């Protein structure tokens, strides 16, 4: 049985609410989310308009730089509010979608924290969004269990589990199934609101708190909006202001110029910044898509190319000056059953984590529980205390030109094909309801897939989109490669999965976002039309 309960004045649901989720969408929880939506949707819309206007100015020649109007904040001597005890040591943060089995595996993984992802690693079907909330509530209550019907294995929590940090959707996405006064609710408010409503008391009773990651922001004004959301949410439920703690992902090229300002806006609620490297690369391509700033093949844009290095060191310096954690990024390698491949993956992750720890990061991200020991070792070796906020501050002062410097490297046919192949494989998984999938030994999620499809768009539409052998990337070439890669995928995954994951639809969507003369801001926006 399922209902489309219309219980709260002005609120409608456009999809049935399966009975098992009635305890998530209670009248009080729905009224709470509706209150947030009524208060903040207009401001969210205005901020999205500002993003579009800024893009037009960039297309017309304006380049990002530090803001003159906020110089006082950058030069000022201030710190964020003290960090709670249980967030002091975040040396290894595992990430993943709050699928029931993965939730238990993540909490038992030995990582310090678990970034429970309603965003890049999650496909926002109605069922996924509600089930994630149910799983997170049960996880915080410590009552979560799972019997795997496929293997017969029973899952339950260990005594010691990772601390949960939930990541709601970014400002750009709506939750189309909940309508308040005729408007779709911003997805971030839906995710944040339900998680906060259902878990704050449980967490406070345990001496912990509601902790969040905030994705894909492009300016400090967007951080101000989150801060105002937090204040209203806390006031509404009678929770002291400052109880919520949020870590902001610096994962857009524009936010890098406003790191101090973002920490300042959230200073009462801040738990630091994180280098969201994959969306950061995507953002560079997206923002400068019409310029002569083409990145080389995706595999060549590593954390050691100058603009990525400049950004990560500046993040550490900025955070430590403000008493905040600077968390590193995601190493995408996952364990392999082939011992040789596995050793290669481990070596890459080890190198990445050791560099981050040496540089001064206070913790890092990994995609798979199998990588926990490795990341832990790297941080244990280079970070003696719970963090290194007061120990290391990189002596850097990157200019705007350094933060924007185009890296050297080639655009190759192999890189072009791989982008098409991986992009279609990812969309196949996504359309089947999975937000993260393994492809060729790497975790692929929305952010990594965005890089692939944005490069393909740019190489087709920008005059500089020429392969290193002199071949111009055209729509015709793209269509030929797409057809060939679809055949390769069919051979790789087999006809059954090829049908089940609807790769034909995935190819159609990939084609649409690659050939549309207007760049699609986020693949999840047209993608969402295909869901439910």
Ligand X SMILES: CC(=O)SCCNC(=O)CCNC(=O)[C@H](O)C(C)(C)COP(=O)(O)OP(=O)(O)OC[C@H]1O[C@@H](n2cnc3c(N)ncnc32)[C@H](O)[C@@H]1OP(=O)(O)O
Q: Active-site residues: which are they?
A: 167, 445
Nearer to ligand X, 182 or 339 (CB): 339
Give just the sign of the alpha carbon dihedral 112, 355, 119, 99.
negative
331 binds ligand X (CB under 6 A): no
Which of Mg ion, ligand X, ligand LL5AMS7Z, none does 102 bind, CB closer than 5 to 8 A by kind?
ligand X
121 binds ligand X (CB under 6 A): yes
Least separation in angstroms between CB 279 and ligand LL5AMS7Z: 3
Question: Which residue of 44, 89, 90, 96 would you call a contact of ligand X, by CB under 6 A?
Answer: 96
Applying the rule CB under 6 A, the residues between 431 and 470 that interact with ligand LL5AMS7Z are 447
Which residue in the shown chain puts its C-beta closest to ligand X?
96
Nearer to ligand X, 336 or 462 (CB): 336
Which stretch in 174-182, 367-375, 485-493, 514-522 sits in contact with ligand X by CB under 6 A?
367-375
| Residue 469, Cβ density class (10 Å: 0-12 exposed, 13-18 middle, ≥19 buried) | exposed
Which of ligand LL5AMS7Z, ligand X, Mg ion, none does 443 bind, CB closer than 5 to 8 A by kind?
ligand X
Nearer to ligand LL5AMS7Z, 216 or 269 (CB): 216
Least separation in angstroms between CB 53 and ligand LL5AMS7Z: 24
Cβ-contact 203, 222 below 8 angstroms:
no
- Own/partner contacts of 340-347, CB < 8 Å, gap of 24 or more, are 341/441, 345/441, 346/371, 346/374
* Rounded distance between C-alpha atoms, residue 234 and residue 240, angstroms: 6
Q: CA-CA distances (angstroms) from residue 207 to 77, 265, 267, 273, 415?
A: 31, 25, 21, 23, 49
What 3-state DSSP class applies to 473? coil
What 3-state DSSP class applies to 206? coil
Least separation in angstroms between CB 118 and ligand X: 11
The DSSP code sequence of 399-463 is: -HHHHTPPPP----HHHHHHHHHHHHHHHHHHHTT-S-EEETTEEE-HHHHHHHHHHHHHHHHST
CA torsion angle 166 171 177 182 (round to 10): 140
Applying the rule CB under 6 A, the residues between 437 and 456 that interact with ligand X are 437-438, 443, 445, 447
Least separation in angstroms between CB 280 and ligand LL5AMS7Z: 7
Question: Which residue of 47, 249, 327, 489 would you call a contact of ligand LL5AMS7Z, by CB under 6 A?
Answer: 249
Which stretch in 89-97, 379-387, 400-408, 454-462 sits in contact with ligand X by CB under 6 A?
89-97
DSSP type of residue 520: P
330 binds ligand LL5AMS7Z (CB under 6 A): yes
* Rounded distance between C-alpha atoms, residue 81 and residue 266, angstroms: 9
120 binds ligand LL5AMS7Z (CB under 6 A): yes
| Residue 510, Cβ density class (10 Å: 0-12 exposed, 13-18 middle, ≥19 buried) | buried
Residues lying near ligand LL5AMS7Z in the complex (CB under 6 A): 120, 249, 251, 276-279, 329-330, 447
């Amino acid at each position: 049985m399922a209902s489309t309960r219309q219980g709260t004045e002005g609120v409608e649901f456009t999809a049935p609410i399966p009975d098992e989720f009635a305890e998530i969408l209670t009248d009080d929880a729905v009224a709470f989310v509706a209150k947030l939506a009524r208060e903040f949707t207009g401001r969210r819309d205005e901020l999205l308009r500002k993003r579009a206007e800024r893009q037009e100015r960039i297309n017309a020649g304006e380049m990002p730089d530090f803001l003159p109007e906020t110089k006082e904040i950058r030069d000022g001597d201030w710190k964020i509010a003290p960090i709670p005890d249980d967030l002091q040591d975040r040396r290894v943060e595992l990430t993943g979608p709050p699928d029931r089995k993965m939730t238990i595996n993540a909490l038992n993984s030995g990582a310090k924290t678990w970034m429970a992802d309603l965003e890049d690693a999650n496909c926002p079907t109605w069922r996924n969004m509600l089930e994630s909330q149910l799983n997170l509530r049960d996880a915080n209550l410590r009552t979560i269990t799972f019997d795997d019907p496929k293997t017969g294995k029973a899952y339950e929590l260990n005594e010691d589990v990772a601390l949960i940090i939930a990541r709601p959707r970014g400002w750009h996405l709506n939750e189309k199934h909940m309508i308040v006064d005729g408007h779709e609710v911003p997805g971030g408010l839906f995710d944040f609101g339900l998680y906060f409503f259902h878990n704050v008391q449980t967490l406070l009773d345990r001496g912990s708190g509601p902790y969040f990651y905030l994705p894909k922001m492009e300016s400090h004004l967007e951080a101000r909006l989150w801060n105002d959301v937090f204040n209203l949410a806390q006031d509404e439920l009678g929770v002291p202001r400052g109880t919520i703690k949020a870590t902001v992902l610096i994962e857009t090229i524009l936010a890098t110029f406003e790191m101090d300002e973002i920490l300042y806006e959230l200073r009462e609620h801040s738990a630091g910044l994180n280098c969201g490297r994959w969306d950061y690369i995507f953002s560079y391509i997206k923002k400068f898509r019409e310029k002569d700033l083409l990145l080389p093949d995706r595999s060549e844009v590593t954390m050691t190319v100058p603009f990525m290095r400049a950004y990560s060191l500046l993040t550490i310096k900025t955070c430590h000056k403000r008493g905040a954690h600077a968390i590193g990024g995601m190493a995408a390698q996952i364990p392999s059953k082939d011992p040789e491949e596995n050793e290669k993956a481990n070596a890459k992750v080890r190198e990445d984590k050791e560099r981050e720890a040496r540089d001064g990061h206070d913790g890092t991200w990994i995609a798979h529980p199998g990588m926990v020991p490795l990341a832990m070792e790297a941080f244990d070796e280079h970070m003696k205390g719970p963090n290194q906020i007061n120990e290391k501050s990189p002596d850097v002062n990157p200019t705007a030109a350094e933060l924007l410097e185009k890296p050297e490297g080639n655009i190759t046919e192999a890189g072009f094909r791989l982008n098409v192949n991986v992009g279609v494989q990812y969309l196949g998984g996504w359309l089947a309801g999975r937000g993260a999938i393994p492809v060729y030994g790497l975790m692929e999620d929305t952010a990594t897939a965005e890089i692939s499809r944005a490069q393909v768009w740019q190489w087709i539409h920008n005059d500089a989109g020429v392969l290193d052998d002199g071949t111009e990337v055209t729509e015709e070439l793209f269509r030929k490669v797409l057809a060939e890669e679809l055949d390769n995928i069919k051979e790789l995954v087999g006809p059954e999965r090829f049908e089940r994951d609807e790769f034909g639809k995935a190819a159609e969507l990939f084609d649409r976002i690659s050939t549309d003369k207007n760049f699609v801001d986020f693949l999840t926006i047209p993608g969402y039309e295909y869901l439910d």
